[in-house]
């Protein structure tokens, strides 16, 4: 019994090892793909690298705290935290626009993306609320309220930024968590149809991101017929071959491929490290997600199950959409690749999700 108890107190070390490997690979590739851009914009080839290292240590601290935190006690305050995050989402509209979007809060030299925090808090909130034995998910009214008003407002604010990628991640994660919690499929379809209809109306009637969607439809059969970003991503991926051009030797990052260190870093990895490098990245991500699924499946209660499953699902959707965009399977959304892309908010929140999984892994035998 003592051995079993000691064993259950250990975190999932294999999950932690996969996470560390991904983050370190990401830092290396951020420097390799951004040094020239950083030199031209900021006069220092270390600008992006230095910022990411700072966020890496902050993320490590967040993982350490969250892995030892009482998650159920924190989840009690998830509803007020969700309302506070909605306020942050509204505050971004008074901030200066960057690249045609208003997604960031400027806090001194650092920037914060509230939509990333919202994605994390939503999972905690839903896990806590849907695990309440008093909630009857067979009742459509209890399925719609209070979820539709508060989550719908968050999705609308994120869409107005605009940030279609985060909306997709949130929407699919929310539906997935309701399904895992036991909601009826016909109720989920009933709730989803108006949302999908509204999105189609906004895109094709009001023109929100319509050009981007049309570019995507044109690139389905031939990526080289798509938008400039899609074409450059296809050329970058294809130029690496099996073994790549070598670390630091990529040419597409020299102001040809847009955002080579953020949205399209997966393409940059394909150019410099080739198919082998991409398979290593995908293998580590698959293993991390696999450990998340195992942790969820072995939870002793519904709250732990939904929380672990929600965090894993959110990470999976984020990864799948980013890679789908780079490979021209999906339209361009402006979504970072978790653990790899440059961006403090993305790394911090993705790391927080891993911290939650590590915390929950203490409750099961490895």
Q: Using one digit for the tens of pLDDT, what is the confidence trace for 253-292?
A: 887 888 899 999 999 999 999 999 999 999 999 999 999 9
Tokens of 263: 């949205």
- pLDDT 10s digits, 99-117: 777 888 887 767 888 999 9
Residue 293 has pLDDT above 60, yes or no: yes
Question: Model confidence over 9-66: pLDDT tens digits?
Answer: 688 999 999 999 999 999 999 999 999 899 988 889 999 999 999 999 999 999 999 9
Residue 48's pLDDT is: 93
With the CA atoms of 172, 177, 180 and 181 taken in that order, what torsion angle do they form, in degrees rounded to the nearest 10?
Answer: -150
pTM: 0.90
In the predicted model, is pLDDT for residue 7 greater than 60? no
Does the pLDDT value for residue 366 go beyond 50? no
pLDDT reported for residue 49:
95
At residue 53, the pLDDT reads 95
**Residue from 351, 347, 344, 352 nearest 108 by CA:** 344
The pLDDT of residue 202 is 66
For the ranges 142-151, 207-216, 257-266, the lowest mean pLDDT is seen at 207-216
Q: What is the pLDDT of residue 340?
A: 96
Q: Is 192 exposed, middle or buried (0-12, 13-18, 19+ CB in 10 A)?
A: middle
Q: How confident is the model at residue 218 (pLDDT cuts 50, 70, 90)?
A: low
The mean of the pLDDT values for the chain is: 86
Residues 239 and 260 sit within 8 Å (Cβ to Cβ): no
Q: Please report, for the chain, the start and end positions of each structural domain, with discontinuous segments joined by +.
A: 32-361
The confidence score (pLDDT) of residue 221 equals 62
Higher pLDDT, 137 or 210: 137
Q: Evaluate whether 127 touches 306 at the Cβ level (below 8 Å).
A: yes
Beta-carbon count within 10 A of 184 CB: 15
Give residue 1's pLDDT band: very low, low, confident or very high (50, 70, 90).
Answer: very low
At 151-205, the pLDDT tens digits run 989 988 998 888 888 888 999 999 999 999 988 888 788 777 777 777 666 666 5
- Among 356, 324, 302, 300, smallest CA distance to 172 is for 324
Spatial contact of 352 and 62, defined as CB atoms under 8 Å apart: yes
């Amino acid at each position: 019994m003592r051995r079993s108890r000691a064993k259950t107190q250990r975190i999932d070390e294999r999950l932690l090892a996969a996470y560390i490997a991904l983050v370190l690979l990401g830092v290396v590739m951020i420097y390799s793909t951004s040094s020239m851009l950083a030199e031209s914009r900021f006069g220092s080839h270390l600008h992006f690298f230095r910022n990411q290292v700072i966020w890496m240590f902050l993320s490590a601290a967040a993982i350490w705290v969250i892995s030892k935190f009482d998650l159920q006690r924190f989840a009690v305050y998830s509803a007020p935290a969700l309302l506070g995050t909605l306020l942050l989402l509204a505050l971004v509209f008074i901030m200066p626009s960057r690249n045609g979007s208003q997604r960031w809060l400027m806090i001194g030299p650092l920037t914060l993306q509230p939509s990333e925090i919202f994605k994390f808090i939503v999972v905690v909130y839903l896990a806590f609320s849907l695990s309440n034995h008093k909630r009857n998910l067979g009742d459509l009214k209890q399925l719609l309220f209070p979820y539709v008003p508060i989550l719908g407002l968050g999705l609308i604010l994120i869409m107005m930024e605009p940030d279609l990628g985060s909306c997709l991640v949130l929407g699919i994660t929310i539906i997935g968590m309701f399904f895992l919690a036991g909601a009826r499929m016909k109720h989920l379809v009933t709730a989803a149809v108006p949302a999908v209809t509204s999105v189609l109306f906004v895109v094709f009637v009001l023109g929100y991101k319509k050009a981007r969607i049309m570019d995507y439809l044109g690139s389905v059969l031939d990526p080289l017929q798509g938008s400039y970003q899609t074409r450059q991503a296809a050329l970058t991926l294809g130029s690496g071959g099996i073994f790549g051009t070598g670390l630091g030797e990529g040419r597409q990052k020299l102001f040809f491929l847009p955002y080579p260190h953020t949205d399209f870093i997966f393409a940059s990895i394909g150019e410099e490290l080739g198919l082998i490098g991409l398979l290593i990245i995908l293998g580590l991500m698959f293993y991390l997600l696999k450990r998340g699924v195992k942790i969820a499946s072995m939870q002793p209660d519904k709250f732990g199950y939904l929380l672990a499953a929600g965090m894993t699902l959110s990470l999976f959707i984020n990864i799948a959409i980013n890679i789908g965009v780079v490979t021209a399977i999906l339209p361009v959304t402006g979504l970072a690749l978790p653990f790899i892309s440059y961006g403090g908010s993305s790394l911090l929140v993705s790391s927080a999700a891993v911290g939650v999984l590590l915390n929950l892994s203490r409750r099961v035998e490895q």
